[in-house]
Amino acid sequence: MTTSASSPQQQAIRISNVCKSYGNYPVLKGIEAEVIRGEVVVICGPSGSGKSTLIRTVNRLEEINSGAITFDGQNIHAPMRTKELNLLRSRIGFVFQNFNLFPHLSVVENVSISPIRVKGVAPGIARDKALKLLDRVGLADKAGAYPGQLSGGQQQRVAIARALAMEPPVMLFDEPTSALDPEMVGEVLTVMKGLAAEGMTMLCVTHEMGFARDVADRVWFIDAGEILEMAPPEEFFKHPRHPRAQRFLADLRH
């Protein structure tokens, strides 16, 4: 496994020797990785291997025990005030498996609330921008609806629009399609593919291997808290090197 020799200017995210335990159970064991600007990385691996924990350390939803993570050169896990941390988080879009929309706010309010609250954008401007983003994810006609009135696929597209409203240079996705009925997976992947095509830097945990094959620049295979393989998708799917990656792919095909 090689870590490339990219310059700091090219790096969006650098993860250096990150270790994390829950109690005395190690979940991340010395993770070394980087995401280059404009790169789409798909993280895959068995259930319980540490994928969510890893991606959540990148916007500090999880603390780490040792190591460092930098985003645009800034140390994400340095001591900082809540306000600073919120600002940092607002620059890293996060899309969860279960959408996490505010149920009591309309769709357009869900998308515009963070720019208003965190960035101080004027409500009218935030609303116009939110409507444009909803149009972009194909939900212009749902602006006034409430999350409970939408399908899972629609809710997830709202969640993506909500993340984009903060104009983050990087987007993280943790199994964005895993909670969806199969017929809704495609509409969410289409939005993600569009983002990738526009050059968004993306770190995606997903079991959608078709997406990985078509869209990813690199795949990271993680098992038991270690990245065992990093490779372009064509290489990873055709010639996985690590026996555990081979087994994982064989299991997926069954």
Select the residue interacting with Mg ion from 52, 70, 155, 177 (CB under 5 A): 52
Alpha-carbon distance of 248 to 171, in angstroms, equals 26
Nearest distance, CB of residue 90 and ligand ADP, angstroms: 23
Residue of 34, 117, 23, 125 lying closest to 72 (CA atoms): 34
Alpha-carbon distance of 101 to 159, in angstroms, equals 7
Binding mask of the shown chain, residues 124 to 163, with x at each position contacting ligand ADP by CB under 6 A = ----------------------------------------
Residue of 141, 138, 134 lying closest to 163 (CA atoms): 134
Q: Are strands 201-205 and 218-223 parallel, antiparallel or unpaired?
A: unpaired
Note whether 95 and 153 are within 8 A (CB). no
Positions 39 through 78 that interact with ligand ADP (CB under 6 A): 45, 47-53
Alpha-carbon distance of 224 to 82, in angstroms, equals 32
Cβ atoms within 10 A of the Cβ of 65, count? 12
Nearest distance, CB of residue 49 and Mg ion, angstroms: 9
Contact between 22 and ligand ADP by CB under 6 A: the answer reads yes
Number of H helices, E strands in the chain: 9, 10
Residue of 175, 155, 139, 154 lying closest to 52 (CA atoms): 175
Contact between 11 and ligand ADP by CB under 6 A: the answer reads no
Span from 44-52, 79-87, 99-107, 148-156 in contact with Mg ion (CB under 5 A): 44-52
Q: Which CB, 7 or 47, lies closer to ligand ADP?
A: 47
Contact between 176 and ligand ADP by CB under 6 A: the answer reads no
Nearest distance, CB of residue 149 and ligand ADP, angstroms: 30
Span from 46-54, 77-85, 218-226, 245-253 in contact with Mg ion (CB under 5 A): 46-54
Contact between 206 and ligand ADP by CB under 6 A: the answer reads no
Nearest distance, CB of residue 205 and Mg ion, angstroms: 6
Contact between 49 and Mg ion by CB under 5 A: the answer reads no
Angle between helices 152-164 and 123-136 (to 10 degrees): 130
Binding footprint of ligand ADP on the chain (CB under 6 A)? 22, 27, 45, 47-53
What are the residues binding Mg ion (CB under 5 A)? 51-52
